[in-house]
Chains A and B, each alone.
Chain A
Amino acid sequence: MSSNNAAPPDPPARDPLRGDGRARAAVEVRDLEVERGGRVVLRLPAFAAPRGQVTAVIGPNGSGKSTLLAALQLLIKPRRGVLSLDGAPMWDDPLGTRRRTASVFQEALLLSMSVRRNVETALGLHKVPRAERRARAMRWLRRLGVDGLAERHARELSGGEAQRVSLARAFALEPALLLLDEPFSALDAPTRTALIDDFAAIVHETGVTTVLVTHDREEALRLADLVALLIGGTLRQSGPPETVFSAPADPEVAAFVGVENVWPGALRAQARGVATYAVAGGDVDVVIDGAAAPAALVCVRPEQITLDLPDHAGPPTSARNRLPGRVAAIEPAGALVRLRLALADEGVMVATLTRPSLEALELEVGSPLVASFKASAAHAIPHQGAFG
């Protein structure tokens, strides 16, 4: 299932040049080193964004994700390395490369002129014939639902409207590569959801190669075909979003993607793709890919765990892990409730559940319960050395 079980800290990224039946990547990065303020803040031996797909670059603040985007936008000249677009080194023709890409930033950056002229001016920079500009601008403004604002001055727009205009301008340029730097993060929740839906539809329909920098997991899950996770200026994991978010390559990745349960475990047994690890709190079955490591960190996302009262729990099955425990703390977590459970042997588990479930189970601090999760919901990160 997972192909990301390579040893930390640097799992080898998929080689974009290897003929593995896929189309050659649109964007390729090799041996990249970018300096800011005299310090190397990004070091990427290899990175690729496949053609026609959305690659989400995620990571905590200071991970280098915005630096990577700025390098792809040719806004920073790397200290070394090669960036290429469709096989051609980007820095061989910076202006030509910029005219084949389009960027949208966190804040909508419009010129002080009307909405329509903002798009037309961008088309003018790309030498689109004057006669075509207006129709093309209006077509894309309509596609983003802001054609009604065409004659308004850019200053008179709300944040959401302005960002729609920025996106319309970017799409109107019909770029080979779309570069987005957290374009939805400054918007309020309803505006944001609506815009992400529209954006997803357009990206799907145009099939434009996209690199999206975001710190938002939901956004990455919703939009990305591929996730590249950076921490501390290096690529820590890349793969389909479901894999990165449920099968983190190392503990730091686990912490960033919200895998709150990371338990050190010792291998007890393995058979037919399932390894059994002893963790504090009991034995846990984990679906594995290949041979099981003798020592591992067992990861489970809180939302993969279901909770039952001890006498209501169903019969044990081989596919389910069941760990008894007691409620140690109940914390609100947005629409959900986060429960900290005390397991046997000072084991700790974090699980989330809905408020109605919490009320139905009549849980309070000290209540006994049984936590269960599928073996396929658990993931083992091989771990060298002893724990302690």
Chain B
Amino acid sequence: MEFLWDGLREAVKLWLSGDPEIIEITLRTLGISIVATSLSLAVGVPIGAALALKSFPGRRPVVALVNTGMGMPPVVVGLVVALILWRSGPLGALELIYTPSAMVLAQFLIAVPLVVGFSMASIQQINPRLLDQIVSLGASRPQFLWLIVREARLGLLAALMAGFGAVISEVGAALMVGGNIAGETRVLTTATALETSRGNFEVAIALGVVLLVLAYVVNLIFTGVQQQRRPA
């Protein structure tokens, strides 16, 4: 048990000293996660809305695909993205493998099904008669979609939290397509795994706690918005 306490003491020292590497890794983690989550929202919410509001041939298999995607092991996504971006792969010429862009791509692919699934569910929960009412109030297409998104905002925040949570805590794909290169593609999860394997428990604990606190603070903000009784 002693090494655990030593680890914690060292971790506190590392934070207090404002270790530049930890700060740099933390900022990179946040950056990649925010970009990947934003992209997944930009793509996932409209798809989720379309699946919720429209009926078209082939909708069912698409929904099944989304549901499968929501439970897809990130390593598989990592593998696929790695194969595609590999130097001799189809998009190898872009030279994206082992870059933050590759990590954003992989994490985007992990988050999209979650965002689609959650936003579809939350928009489907809107009373269909309310949709008729909005249309008959004279809403144009963009006005309609805006009011729908507004009505489903609690569910859409859940989609955001699920997407961000999946992306920031993900390690397998980040490692495979990012390569955990110090100063370039090292993020909190991959760094924690690395330091643990090296036996540097105090650093691993310090990184792990930063990750936890980060995830908690971000979710605290979202939850605050979500639980507001009367949003402005």
Contact = CB atoms under 8 A, between A and B. Distances in A.
Contact of B136 (A114, A126, A153, A179): A179
A153 B138 CA distance: 22
Nearest to B154: A112
Contacts of B139: 125
Given A109-B127, A153-B229, A75 B147 contact: no
A111 B144 CA distance: 12
A67 interface: no
B198 interface: no
Contacts of B213: none
Contacts of A98: 135-138
Q: Identify which of B127, B130, B136, B143 gathers the most chain A CB atoms within 10 Å of its CB.
A: B136
B180 to A, nearest CB: 45
Interface string B116-160: 000000000001011011111111100100010011000000000
A111 B151 CA distance: 7
Nearest to B231: A113
Interface string B38-58: 000000000000000000000
A70 B135 CA distance: 12
Main secondary structure of the interface of B (DSSP, over half): helix
Nearest to B130: A109
B127 A95 contact: no
Contacts of B137: 98, 102-103, 122, 125, 169, 173
A125 B137 CA distance: 7
A109 B133 contact: yes
Report, as a range, how many residues of chain B touch the other chain: 10 to 19
A28 B91 CA distance: 61
A103 B137 CA distance: 7
Interface in A161-213: 169, 173, 179
Contact of A109 (B129, B143, B230): B129
Contact of A105 (B129, B143, B147, B150): B129
B136 A103 contact: yes
A276 to B, nearest CB: 53
Nearest to A70: B132
A121 B130 CA distance: 14
Given A111-B151, A153-B230, A105 B132 contact: yes
B230 A75 contact: no
B138 A99 contact: yes
B132 A125 contact: no
Interface in B84-100: none
Given A109-B127, A112-B151, A114-B230, A75 B138 contact: no
Contacts of A246: none
A113 B228 CA distance: 12
A107 interface: yes
Interface string A112-137: 11100000011001100000000000
A105 B133 contact: yes
A352 interface: no
Given A121-B147, A153-B229, A126 B138 contact: yes
Contacts of A111: 130, 134, 147, 150-151
A73 interface: yes
Nearest to B229: A153
A83 B135 CA distance: 18
A101 to B, nearest CB: 7
B230 A95 contact: no
A30 B230 CA distance: 47
A109 B229 CA distance: 19
Nearest to A103: B136
Nearest to A100: B138
Given A98-B137, A125-B140, 6 more contacts: A95-B138, A98-B135, A101-B138, A103-B137, A105-B133, A109-B129
15 contacts: A70-B132, A98-B135, A98-B138, A101-B138, A102-B136, A109-B127, A109-B129, A109-B130, A111-B151, A122-B137, A122-B138, A125-B139, A153-B230, A169-B137, A179-B136
